[in-house]
Structures are given as C-alpha cells and as structure tokens.
C-alpha cells in the first residue's frame, strides 16, 4: 500500500458519530487531516470531533439542502475540502418482496443510502475542483456486488451505490477527482441489530470498524476511478474486478 499523508488536508465524514464513522474519523486525523464530522447525533458528532480537534456538523443527509450547506461550512471554517467519505447508511428493516411494504421506511432507506450519496457527490465536486482534485469514498457493501436474500431492499440500495460509483468515477476522473466505493462484508456495528447474536452463535467472524478504517486508507492510497474495493475478515482490501461488458450504442 502506498503511503497516505493528509497533512494540511481537510476531510468530511458523514455518519461520523458512530460505528465505522468514528474509526474513520480517527484514522483520517492520524493521517494528518482536519476532519469535519457530520451526523444527526449532535452530541456524538461533537464528542468525536472534539477528540480529534475537528469540526462537528449536525444535519439530516436525506435533506437535499444539507450537503451543500455542510460543504460550504467546511470550506468556510476549515479553509478547503480534499477528502469526502460518504459513510452514512441504514439497514432495510423489511423484506420488500412479500407485498407488505412500509413505504415511509422504504423512502428513508433510499434517502440515507442512495439520495445522500448523490447529494454528497454533487455538493463536494465544486469544492474538490477548487483544489484541483480530491477523493470521494462511498461506503457500499458486499451486498452491492452480490444478492443478500436476508435484506433485498438494502441490496437494492447498495447495488445502486456501486453502479453510481462506477459511472461517476469515470465521469469525474478528468477533473482529478477519484470516486471509489468500499464494499465490506458484515461489520460489528449497531447496524447488525439482532443478527449479531446469530453470527455469534455460529462463530462467524465479523469485520471491525477499525478494519474498515484501514481499508479506507488503502483506497485513498491506491483506489482508482470508479473502482469497488472489497474487504472481508482476515483479508486485505482489494479492488473487485467485474466481468468485461462493453456498453453498446443505440
């Protein structure tokens, strides 16, 4: 892995007050970055930001006005923006295949897992262009590469994120903006909910938030435009190589 030095750089992490976000904020700070921590949990965001000398920002990532306002605040208070980790995410919480659909819950899932990513990229790109380029890393999932029958709606959102990353990465590469997706397996966070007991019962190894922070560092060092990087317990982060399919012309 190449060396990552973020001294003098500014990073923004969404969903930065819990789980993966906390580990990522701390890793980015260790690499030298000034870090803005965005979360709905005001106290949590302040606690984590204070621990690394960063900036706490409170906001709802499903609101289209939030990300532009946050990016503007980061530039105003920290002077620039170089790295964005769009990490906020939630689980599906319902099958979405059996005719009984809680539409409000479904819309929230799409709002956090998909809309927030689009809002975040669109808000961040002008700021990154002002620095001559930068990095955007999006937390997806292995469920963005393979089907997860236990949570089809979550699978839907993460497939959308991976597809968006592949296309946006190519579209922004000429600007020096590298967009990549991070696709971990199951991570030991609150997002697992009751499934954590099932994993423990069969001794299924889980990733830790620290594993994801390490994978993020690898992506920042070596990730290419539009790539999806996978990480599973006991392994090293690596770029997933999809089959070659040529996009035809109409």
Enumerate the active-site residues.
154
Quick one: which of 22, 24, 16 has its CA closest to 41?
16
The answer to whether the CB of 143 falls within 8 A of the CB of 155 is yes
- Between strands 228-231 and 177-184, the pairing is parallel
Cα–Cα–Cα angle for 23, 71, 159, rounded to 5 degrees = 60
Cβ within 8 Å of residue 244, ≥6 positions away:
none
The answer to whether the CB of 89 falls within 8 A of the CB of 114 is no
């Amino acid at each position: 892995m190449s060396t990552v030095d973020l001294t003098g750089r500014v990073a923004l992490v969404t969903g930065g007050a819990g789980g993966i976000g906390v580990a990522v904020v701390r890793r980015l700070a260790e690499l030298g970055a000034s870090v803005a921590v965005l979360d709905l949990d005001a106290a949590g965001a302040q606690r984590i930001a204070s621990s690394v000398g960063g900036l706490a920002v409170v906001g709802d990532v499903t609101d289209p006005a939030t990300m532009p306002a946050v990016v503007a605040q980061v530039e105003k208070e920290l002077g620039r923006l170089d790295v964005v980790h769009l990490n906020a995410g939630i689980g599906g919480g319902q099958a979405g295949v059996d005719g009984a659909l809680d539409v409000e819950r479904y819309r929230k899932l799409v709002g956090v897992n998909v809309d927030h990513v689009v809002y975040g990229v669109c808000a961040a790109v002008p700021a990154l262009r002002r620095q001559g380029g930068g990095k955007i890393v999006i937390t997806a999932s292995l469920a963005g590469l393979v089907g997860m029958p236990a949570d089809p709606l979550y699978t839907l959102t993460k497939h959308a994120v991976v597809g968006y990353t592949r296309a946006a990465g190519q579209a922004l590469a000429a600007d020096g903006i590298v967009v990549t997706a991070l696709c971990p397996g199951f991570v030991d966070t609150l997002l697992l909910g009751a499934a954590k007991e099932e994993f423990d019962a069969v001794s299924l190894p889980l990733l830790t938030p620290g594993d994801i922070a390490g994978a993020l560092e690898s992506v920042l060092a070596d990730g290419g435009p539009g790539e999806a990087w996978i990480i599973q317990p006991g392994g090293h982060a690596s770029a997933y190589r999809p089959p070659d399919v040529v996009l035809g012309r109409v």
